[in-house]
Amino acid sequence: MKKIFLLLFGFTLLFASCKTQKTDSVTAPRPPNEVEKNTSKSTYWQQHVDYTMEIDMDVNSYQYQGKQTLVYTNNSPDVLTNVYYHLYFNAFQPGSEMDVRSLTIPDPDGRVADRISKLQPDEIGYIKVSSLTQDGISIKHETVGTILEVELAKPIQPGESVTFNMVFNAQVPIQIRRSGRNNKEGVALSMAQWYPKLAEYDFEGWHADPYIGREFFGVWGDFDVTLTIDKNYVIGGTGYLQNPNEIGHGYETGAVNRPDGDKLTWHFLAPNVHDFTWAADPDYIHDKMQVPNGPMLHFYYKNTLDAEKKDNWKKLQPKTVELMEYYSEHIGKYPYNQYSVIQGGDGGMEYGMCTLIVGEGNFEGLFGVTAHEMAHSWFQFVLASNESKHSWMDEGFTQYISSLAENDILNKNIENPTKGAYGGYVFLAKSGKEQPLTTHSDRYNFNQTYSISAYYKGYVFLAQLGYVIGEENQKETIKSYFNDFKFKHPRPLDVIRTAEKISGLELDWYLTDWTQTTNTVDYAVKSIDGNSVTLERIGLMPMPIDIAVTYKDGSTENFYIPLQMMRGEKPTTATVIKDWAWAYPTYTFKPSKPISSVQIDPKEMMADINRDNNKM
């Protein structure tokens, strides 16, 4: 529980205004048979962005000037007449949706609480766009909260690329959450979601979700970013530094030769990412450690930390190498040459090729946050699912794999490391507050409901999949899912179709019941009569059944009852008996010998909300 409440106790957005644009490339109606033949409608596509940004930061006023050139390629089959940018920093203003939601939700995140409402004009965040052109022509744009609404001068045709040129100025807010300046750990600049960022347009239309405090979704592309800042500041973040010997600060590969002046200009390139994040502080220590056959790891933490905390950061480094190796082995090879762990001073959040985390905890806390955030490099940064819509796909899967990695790397030898997550989910299922996992991240009634749903119910989805299709099939599903959907925007169906292809089993029911309903699993042993056992299905959600029988002679036997709608069985060494069709409330089977006791799901891998009735 600790990690959830520490890390992720989040926010909520109220009225997301996803503007759906249904402009079609087809101008004249076509006969139905021709429409059916148009396979472009069902073929996967994704938009593409290439950003070039020049930023000049004033570390005294915390204001910065920006120039942005954005080449946008419309790979969709649709004609676009509008585009939308996120201006996330505008959330940190009194009266913003983020502020009001925090003031009105029953269980506000203590780190936000009423702090936004009290920000003074020189403490708020903002991004002000002063000019915007499309292929050189000035275009109409309006800032509405955290979204810039843009009316195009000329529609963008399918397959067409256009260039947007923007000039903007901005102010870094006092850190409320994730981003901002001068946080409680004294980090000067945590620059996440800091630039005008084009909203994603996909098969579901626009995702110009206002920022109310939770979750992101971006467009894949290449970033070329130059940051000009006071020469004493050390920067870590997304992207490869192009001019290390002009910079020094631990990046140099030879003699450092800095240009004259009070400022340095850092030049970064980040290919094939969907975000660009950085942090800067004059007191950062910058360490590096090479992962064998893997990326270079960079660590940035404050030189003002006390000796014990600095020592934690030293101890973290070889363990981070192990984490990188664990995830690369169990999910798929990390696809970049660099990863940075940066003291950002607030919580922990995943970004492209890096993470910003709190830096003052004990060693286990520091390692736990790093384990979680680094796993996000796979589940969200490379498998870029829509966090707002399917938070369980990134938070749940991340929490699952990182709990296994922690258990392995810290030699905890916990027999069942999944137990806590199952317990969290069961607590929620019985609380009466559960909402389906299809709920938008901002639309949960309680922050706690969001957190348990995304982190634990999402975790159990993947852990329990191992129960349903067999552990080897589940492991293969994870790897195959990564390999097939890396650098894309996978959806829930992509996970379950992968599992179906690997296992040969029908699993649509599993995705539907687990993510689109609050149906629960509850199976029970109803009676034992001599050598006859009767089971009962109490919950609505179907499941195949593992069951262990102990005979009166002391011997034991494991049985497996397939779920009829799966049209097959998982690989098992248990005795496979006749299948159970879901609608039948009871099921009776007769082992060959007199029975002493029986237990449903002895490994506790099924998320049964009442285990008291599993044994007799």
Q: Which chain residues interact with Zn ion by CB under 5 A?
A: 395
Work out how close the CB of 458 gets to Zn ion at its nearest, in angstroms, rounded to a whole number: 10
Dihedral angle at the C-alpha atoms of 585, 588, 594, 597, nearest 10 degrees? -30
CA distance 341 to 317: 9
CA distance 218 to 384: 8
Adjacent-strand bridge partners of 67: 54, 167
Work out how close the CB of 206 gets to Zn ion at its nearest, in angstroms, rounded to a whole number: 25
b/e string for 51-88 if b means 16 or more Cβ within 10 A? bbbbbbbebeebebebebebebbbebbbbbebbbbbbb
Work out how close the CB of 448 gets to Zn ion at its nearest, in angstroms, rounded to a whole number: 16
Please say which residue, 395 or 601, places its beta carbon nearer to Zn ion: 395
Looking only at the bridges linking them, the beta strands covering 338-343 and 296-302 are parallel
Dihedral angle at the C-alpha atoms of 451, 453, 454, 458, nearest 10 degrees? 140
Adjacent-strand bridge partners of 558: 548
CA distance 357 to 154: 43
Work out how close the CB of 379 gets to Zn ion at its nearest, in angstroms, rounded to a whole number: 8
Work out how close the CB of 482 gets to Zn ion at its nearest, in angstroms, rounded to a whole number: 17
Q: Which helix (H) or strand (E) holds 101?
A: helix 97-104
Please say which residue, 88 or 216, places its beta carbon nearer to Zn ion: 216
Looking only at the bridges linking them, the beta strands covering 575-576 and 556-561 are parallel
Please say which residue, 395 or 494, places its beta carbon nearer to Zn ion: 395
DSSP letters for 312-336 = HHHHHHHHHHHHHHHHHHHT----S
Please say which residue, 47 or 402, places its beta carbon nearer to Zn ion: 402
Adjacent-strand bridge partners of 50: 71, 222
CB 270 within 8 A of CB 238: yes
Work out how close the CB of 376 gets to Zn ion at its nearest, in angstroms, rounded to a whole number: 5
Work out how close the CB of 89 gets to Zn ion at its nearest, in angstroms, rounded to a whole number: 22
Please say which residue, 375 or 521, places its beta carbon nearer to Zn ion: 375
CA distance 227 to 79: 35
Work out how close the CB of 515 gets to Zn ion at its nearest, in angstroms, rounded to a whole number: 18
Is the Cα dihedral 241, 242, 247, 253 positive or negative? Answer: positive
Task: Tell me phi and psi for residue 67, to 5 degrees.
Answer: -120, 130
Work out how close the CB of 293 gets to Zn ion at its nearest, in angstroms, rounded to a whole number: 26
CB 308 within 8 A of CB 418: no
- Best CA proximity match to 219, nearest among 235, 195, 191: 195
Structure tokens at 461: 């989805």
Work out how close the CB of 497 gets to Zn ion at its nearest, in angstroms, rounded to a whole number: 24
Please say which residue, 346 or 395, places its beta carbon nearer to Zn ion: 395
CA distance 106 to 433: 13
Please say which residue, 97 or 395, places its beta carbon nearer to Zn ion: 395
Please say which residue, 395 or 522, places its beta carbon nearer to Zn ion: 395
Work out how close the CB of 422 gets to Zn ion at its nearest, in angstroms, rounded to a whole number: 19
Please say which residue, 183 or 380, places its beta carbon nearer to Zn ion: 380
Provide the 8-state DSSP code for 453: I
Work out how close the CB of 6 gets to Zn ion at its nearest, in angstroms, rounded to a whole number: 11
Q: How many CB atoms lie within 10 A of CB 318?
A: 11
Please say which residue, 78 or 395, places its beta carbon nearer to Zn ion: 395
Please say which residue, 9 or 514, places its beta carbon nearer to Zn ion: 9
What Cα–Cα distance (Å) separates residue 441 from each residue in 216, 390, 454?
A: 10, 8, 8
Please say which residue, 76 or 439, places its beta carbon nearer to Zn ion: 439
Cα angle 525, 526, 530; round to 5:
90
Residue closest to Zn ion (Cβ): 395
CA distance 463 to 261: 56
Q: Cα 152 to chain center, whole Å?
A: 31
Work out how close the CB of 348 gets to Zn ion at its nearest, in angstroms, rounded to a whole number: 7
Please say which residue, 395 or 406, places its beta carbon nearer to Zn ion: 395
